[in-house]
Structure 1
Amino acid sequence: MLQQQILDQNQPISSSLNSIPRYSLKILNPQVHYYYVAPGNNSKLIIDTIKKRKNWQESDNHLLHFQWNMNDNYFRFNILSSLQIQIVNHLPNHRELTMKCNLIKNLKQFCQSNKRYVWDITPLSFNIELLTKENDLDKILKEFTLFYEQLKPQNNKKNTSNFNVPIKLNNQYIQPKMHSSFLDQENNYIWILKPNEFNRGRGISFFRTLEELKILLKNFIKGTSEYQFSQGQIKSSSFVIQKYIQRPLLLDGRKFDIRVWVLVNHNFDIYIFNQGYARLSSEMFDLTQLDAFIHLTNNAVQKHSKNYGFFELGNQISYSELDYYTNGEFTKTVLPKIKSIIVLSWMAVQHTFKKIKYSFEIFGYDFMLDENLKPWLIEINTNPCLEESSPLLKELIPKMIDHAFKIVIDPLFSKITESTDWDHLLQL
């Protein structure tokens, strides 16, 4: 029903280990369930959660019923057994959603086919690939440059209405356009450059001019663009250029985004955890300064700020606090729109996925709200951060993981089905 409602709407939706355990059909003790959890991203929590269940034991012999890893590089989906339950925590092809460039590509294709305006769902974006033998940035950036210039506000006009370029009828639903939330009253013109291969704010850069963009890209090609909060350098050849939302909703004068947890099993049952949190910046919002502590709300970035935790513990607040700030509108009007966008994102990629028993995945969806409380899908993360970096997350994350296991693990091994705080949206 929800799937059909989305299609029927006329209005737009306003590290790796050197060795890895292998799969086997032979089990040492049929009364014991064996697991393996790779280190990283609060793996202790995963171990503690599975050990709370009866008859689970860590495997030293590569004989597994359940494997949890940071990525799916070593998962052999083609030999997951239908005779023996073997669960892994990633879905094949999840990169169709979790790679920034693929997400944009799939949303555009879906919206084109279903007559939905893609740039009413996610900020205006362009995919950029720097070919190995291609040094001509002007040629690579030709399409982006065209729209950059056409959508650029006139300095002598205080105009924040939608800016559009002439459209062709057959691609009107994906034609670049400038939403009013992307420009402020002073007509600033800010864009974001995001490397496709990185997460947690790594490598994200801001620019105002084409000259600044070219300098950033040349640095990435050389691998000299240093990430300011970690050692080493970042090198990339694949990017998304995205329009910055210059009129976001602010909480006490600071920018924030919303982390939503989504669980999808191998049957494409889609669940949303009914609790989540907002991540706030450490500095007051200011478009004249392109400072990461002002504009990037990732905890991996903000924890380096001198003001981290000054306003609220861990720079995080709960859904109930968001409701307080929005006079109840977050639960009443924003969350239903967020749920619709989540479903739409899966409708856009379901044709690229193959159902592999018994895989599942927990995704971290990131949304921003503009000043009119319109939610914008920013990106979708595989292996979302599970660090319990605040009292709020010490409460939410263990519950979220435990209740996810109640859905994807317990019914298979203990034959017990319990109620959880995961709300079922639909099955595709």
Structure 2
Amino acid sequence: MADLSYLFVQRDAGSSVYTAVAKYLQTREDKSWKKVPRDSTRFNLMLGDRNKLPYSKLGQIRGLTQVVNYYRGSDVICRKASLVRTLKDYCEEKKLHMFEWMPTSFVIYPPCDQEVVVIGEEKFVRQRRSRSDERDQLKKCAEREPHVIWIAKSSNGAKGDGIQISSDVGSLVQMVDSQRKAYVIQRYIDSPLLLSGGRKFDIRCWVLIDATYTIYLYREGVLRTASEEYEPDRLDHLTAHLTNHALQQELSENFGKYEVGNEMFYDEFDSFLQDKYGVGLAAAILPQIRSIVKTCLGIVQSKLNTTGLDFWSFQLLGFDFMVDNDLKVWLLEVNGAPACAQKLLSSLVQSLVETAIDPLFVPYGQVQYGPNLFDQI
């Protein structure tokens, strides 16, 4: 009897989410999927690392439907510098003011080499940059508001690596010039909404784009919380300012003191908002998040469009937000390969497969699903 299974390859370990997707497909009771070696050319689904996917090899077998777990070109919003550039270019083209939910941001590039400039009989050596950056605009902005605090973040950094916070713009630019990668220097949100113990947090939301570019927001989210009380006058106290899990776990003795794994979930956050402000998450925060997500993904849709290609794409994104003490939501960054809180992983994976994969490859048998927690926005 012919094997009717759909075939998938797992080219790289990839994110924890897609590792869990691979396991889920192999253990689901309908037995519709079969894993084949990573170098196979005949497959329906490719799961891999977004930076190592062989897009040119997709869609080569006539009559074979293929889908891959990343949209090619998603770096236009998944790298910090590219996100800033993309939003600025759009606003400039449309003659709009910059979006109010994006902190004032400038892209700074380090020098890439040197050039000799001759003026009369004098020779000068100056640093030449890989492309024009925004250091002059940043310095002018800082001169107008000398007491503003700024945060410098590597364009492709992770786990809090290389982040510096300072009101001295000159020192931040000097730091960037000693690096080999682009940085975003951004106005620091110095009036954050604080949890019990006066602690900062950010919100990770999971967003799914399916093969038809329909956008879904996962119904649950997680607050990544700080271990220490927020101290605006101590900018070097990283565990009070940066909520990254890896950094908190490595540097703070208080990691896990307030929340298990420094993670708070929506139900508890909703109760906090109700008690403090008399308004809940659904009314105060989520409408802002949905609006920001739709705007960002609408702007880049033409850059990610797969129309005319011989394969399909879908992608899970991690949108990170901060909330200030006026309950205003700010976009921090977009992660192209987000991890998921362990508590939510199994339901997120099941919902992802049901939303993005099953419509393209209808299961052969009955599947006992749990609730699908992706809502279209």
Q: TM-score, normalised by structure 1?
A: 0.74
Matched, 1:73 2:52: yes
| Count of residue pairs the alignment pairs up | 342
2:183 aligned residue (222, 239, 254): 239
Deviation for aligned residue 1:36: 2.4
Alignment equivalent of 1:395, drawn from 343, 346, 361: 343
Task: Give the secondary-structure state (helix, strand or coil) at the position aligned to 1:347.
Answer: helix
Structure 1 residues 317 and 373: CA distance shift in structure 2, 3 A: same
Q: Deviations over 1:10-52 (max 9, x none)?
A: xxxxxxxxxxxxxxxxxx9651222223225335423321113
CA 69–424 in structure 1, closer or farther in 2 if over 3 Å, else same: same
1:311 and 2:284 matched: no
- Structure 2 counterpart of 1:45: 20
Question: Cα 1:319–1:114, aligned 2, differ >3 Å: closer, same or farther?
Answer: farther
In structure 1, runs of 5+ residues without a counterpart are 1-27, 154-188, 221-235, 387-392
The answer to whether the 8 Å contact 1:91/1:266 transfers is no
Match of 2:32 in 1: 55
Residues 168-187 of structure 1: pairs in structure 2 closer than 5 A = none
1:315-338 deviation digits (Å, cap 9, x = unpaired): 011111111111143211210111
SS at match of 1:309: coil
- Pick from 102, 127, 130 the counterpart of residue 122 of structure 1: 102
Q: Deviations over 1:172-209 (max 9, x none)?
A: xxxxxxxxxxxxxxxxx321111112223222222221
CA–CA distance in 1 between the matches of 2:24 and 2:208?
17
Which of 154, 157, 161 matches 1:202?
Answer: 161
104-113 or 270-279: which moved more?
Answer: 104-113
SS at match of 1:274: strand
> In 1, distance between residues paired with 2:83 and 2:289?
16
> What SS does the aligned partner of 2:209 have?
strand
Deviations 1:354-376 (A, max 9, x none): 21532100000000001000000
**1:363 match:** 317
Structure in which a larger fraction of residues adopt strand: 2
SS in 2 for 1:308: coil
Q: Is the 8 A contact 2:146 2:167 kept in 1?
A: no
Deviates more, 1:131-140 or 1:403-412: 131-140
Choose the corresponding residue for 1:298, options 238, 241, 244: 244
Q: Corresponding residue for 2:210? A: 265
The aligned residue for residue 335 of structure 1 is 286
Partner residue, 1:384: 338
Pairs within 5 Å for 1:200-239 = 200-220=159-179, 236-239=180-183
Segments of 5+ residues of structure 2 without an aligned counterpart are 115-125
371 and 115 in structure 1: CA distance in 2 versus 1, 3 angstrom threshold: farther
Residue 118 of structure 1 deviates from its aligned partner by: 1.9
2 CA distance for matches of 1:199 and 1:274?
25
Secondary structure at the aligned position of 1:326 is classed as helix
Deviation per CA, 1:54-93: give whole Å up to 9, x if none. 1322212613222211224333157325621222110011
The answer to which of 261-270 and 348-357 deviates more is 348-357
Q: Distance in 2 between matches of 1:76 and 1:314?
A: 37
What is the DSSP-based 3-state SS (H/G/I as helix, E as strand, rest coil) of the residue aligned with 1:49? helix
Moved more, 88-97 or 198-207: 198-207
Q: What is the deviation of 1:269?
A: 0.5
Q: Is the 8 A contact 1:403 1:420 kept in 2?
A: yes
Deviation at 1:297, TM superposition (A): 0.9
Counterpart Cα distance in 2 of 1:116 and 1:128: 23
TM-score (norm 2): 0.83
Contact 1:192 1:204 in 2 (8 A): yes
- 2:353 is aligned to 405
Structure 1's 137 and 245: CA in aligned 2 closer, same or farther, altered over 3 A? farther
Cα distance between partner residues in 2 of 1:145 and 1:115: 24
Provide the secondary structure at the position in 1 that maps to 2:223: strand
Aligned partners of 1:401, 1:127: CA distance in 2, in Å? 35
Q: Deviations over 1:243-289 (max 9, x none)?
A: 10000000010000000000002321000001111110111100122
| CA distance in structure 1 between the aligned counterparts of 2:14 and 2:302, rounded to whole angstroms | 32
Alignment partner of 2:222 out of 277, 286, 289: 277
Identity %: 28
By how many angstroms is 1:350 displaced? 1.8
**Aligned-partner residue type, residue 409 of structure 1:** I
Is residue 131–residue 237 contact of structure 1 (8 Å, CA) maintained in 2? no
Q: Which residue of 1 aligns with 2:146?
A: 152
Match of 2:121 in 1: none
Calculate the aligned-residue CA RMSD, in Å.
2.5
Distance 1:260 1:301 in 2: 20
CA distance in 1, matches of 2:305, 2:75: 13
User: Which of 93, 102, 110 is the equivalent residue of 2:82?
Assistant: 102
Residue matched to 2:120: none
CA contact under 8 A between 1:72 and 1:90: conserved in structure 2?
Answer: no
Contact 1:137–1:214 (8 Å) recurs in 2: no
Cross-structure match for 1:111: 91
3-state DSSP of counterpart to 2:231: coil
Q: Equivalent residues in 2 for 1:10-21 (5 A)? A: none
